[in-house]
Copies of this chain bind each other. A is one copy, B any other.
């Protein structure tokens, strides 16, 4: 994870990964059939503790948006994870990238989660009728992703949580309720 985050997929070498894991390059390939397989394994592992796989008990309505702001705040303390996703998601749009399907599916899922949360918020009367859940969903995800790159290049210049909350409240047209 750390090596892919620090170097990206193509510039990461199995030799470096092996060394950091305490075995040889051939040893790594005993557990994963190829470098691409290793990347897939890393992403699958990460997924088990990530937002993209929130279960049925996930927060509903605006509480989900609040959860995203908290995620942004927590991310400011997890540079490695932020870098991993920022680097790999963008790299995945290159030709034949092994994580392309993963990120296509991930974004589709994230947009779906947000559309659902925004729709719930509408039904609960938490937000105005006029809001387009699909457009707002893309916007929220985009802000969070874009902030990560800016923050990685200049951590002192960008407050990810504050700007995320600003953008969300602006899109909703009202303040976000505090966390429980």
Contacts and interface: CB of A to CB of B under 8 A. Distances in A.
A158 interface: yes
A87 B103 CA distance: 14
Given A135-B159, A144-B146, A166-B171, A153 B103 contact: yes
Contact of A154 (B10, B108, B163, B166): B108
Given A6-B94, A6-B95, A170-B171, A163 B138 contact: yes
* Copy total for this chain: 2
Contact of A8 (B94, B143, B154): B94
A104 B149 contact: no
A119 interface: no
Nearest to A95: B6
Given A87-B90, A94-B8, A150 B166 contact: no
Which of under 10, 10 to 19, 20 to 34, or 35 or more describes the interface residues of A? 35 or more
A139 interface: yes
Contacts of A132: 166
**Most central of A135, A138, A143, A171 by chain B CB within 10 Å:** A138
Nearest to A83: B93
